[in-house]
Amino acid sequence: MKLTILGCYSATPRVLTNPTAQVLEIKNHMFLIDCGEGTQVQLRKHKIKFNRIKHIFISHLHGDHFFGLAGLISTFRLLGRETDLHIFGPKGIKEIITLQMKLADSWTNYKLVFHELTSEDSKLIYDDEDLEVYTIPLKHRVYTNGFLFKEKEGDRKLDINAVETHKINIAYYRKLKQGFDVKNDEGKLIKNSVVTKPGTKPMSYAFCSDTAFHESIVTVIKNTDVLYHESTFLEQHEKLADPTKHSTAKQAATIAKMAQVKTLILGHYSTRYDNLNDFKTEAQTIFKNVKLAKDGKVFEFI
């Protein structure tokens, strides 16, 4: 599982800081999460192949999270894309993108599939052989979802020596990988655990931005491997966090602790702060394993 931060600052794009966008590489998928202005340039800068992006997840319709979407869709068209593009985002996202295409009289050649979100509860919105994606209802000034990406339990691995010793026919290997007990050449039932080992441990990633401190997400993201939680402010500005429905570094760490995640990544910093290390120091008073998002940073998790 690999996470590339294209932008992790709040509010407005600047010369050296980009609004929210990130690419999650998981089980051979490349998911784009949020798409602030300038995201397509960031994708180019980090040499991410446009065609590998087939699903875009938009948390909410504030500009710093989606003003790059219309341009990206339009660039895909200009480059002759043929692959379908799925867009998950709040109700209204279809209307705004369609209106822009109508006014420009520029329609995509490829299929654009909108999955508009309206539920206030966590929902399964994507499901394939390898993974599931759930919404994480957040608490912000407008309707907002985070997203939980969960790899499925993979196949078990054959212990080739044990399989041969127990004389199991090759025709049963698939069933073994799927976890079933099988009969061997002599008609004897062989316990699965005797001839297989656990497969790769499934990973999970939760993206939570933008949001105020919101305890009810804890049940949804419980035991997640990696949590990206916004921390627009430091505790010294907690009074700003409440009315703007953002979080402090300490609040993000509190959620990480309650949900017993393994790693917390902080991001969505207000540009008022010069020293990002203050976010880490503050969060670590509550939760140990804290990392700081930075534009262009790549996190690999195994």
Using CB under 8 A, list all residues that contact a second copy: 11-15, 37-38, 40-41, 44-45, 61-63, 67-68, 70-71, 74-75, 78-79, 90, 92-93, 95-96, 99-100, 103-106, 141-142
User: Cβ closer to a second copy: 11 or 240?
Assistant: 11
User: Cβ closer to a second copy: 143 or 172?
Assistant: 143
CB of 276 to a second copy, least distance (A): 20
CA distance 198 to 163: 15
Count of CB atoms situated within 10 Å of the CB of 277: 10
User: Cβ closer to a second copy: 13 or 267?
Assistant: 13
Give phi and psi for 220, each to the nearest 5.
-70, -40
CB of 256 to a second copy, least distance (A): 28
Count of CB atoms situated within 10 Å of the CB of 181: 14
Q: Are 26 and 5 in contact (CB under 8 A)?
A: no
Chain CA centroid to CA 41, Å: 20
User: Cβ closer to a second copy: 36 or 137?
Assistant: 36
Catalytic option among 34, 64, 225, 295: 64
Per the annotation, the verdict on 64 as an active-site residue is: yes
Task: Return the closest-CA partner of residue 61 out of 36, 86, 24.
Answer: 36
CB of 112 to a second copy, least distance (A): 15
User: Cβ closer to a second copy: 79 or 302?
Assistant: 79
User: Cβ closer to a second copy: 49 or 186?
Assistant: 49
Burial label, 301 (beta-carbon count in 10 A; 0-12, 13-18, 19+): middle
CA distance 254 to 263: 13
Strands (E), the chain: 2-7, 21-26, 29-35, 53-57, 85-90, 112-117, 124-127, 131-137, 145-151, 157-158, 182-183, 189-190, 196-197, 204-208, 226-230, 263-267, 290-292, 298-300
Express the helix, strand and coil content of the chain in percent, nearest 5 each: 30, 30, 40
Q: Are 172 and 182 in contact (CB under 8 A)?
A: yes
Tokens (6 digits) for 208: 């939570």
Task: Return the closest-CA partner of residue 238 out of 230, 229, 248.
Answer: 248
CB of 272 to a second copy, least distance (A): 12
User: What are the residue numbers of the active site?
Assistant: 64
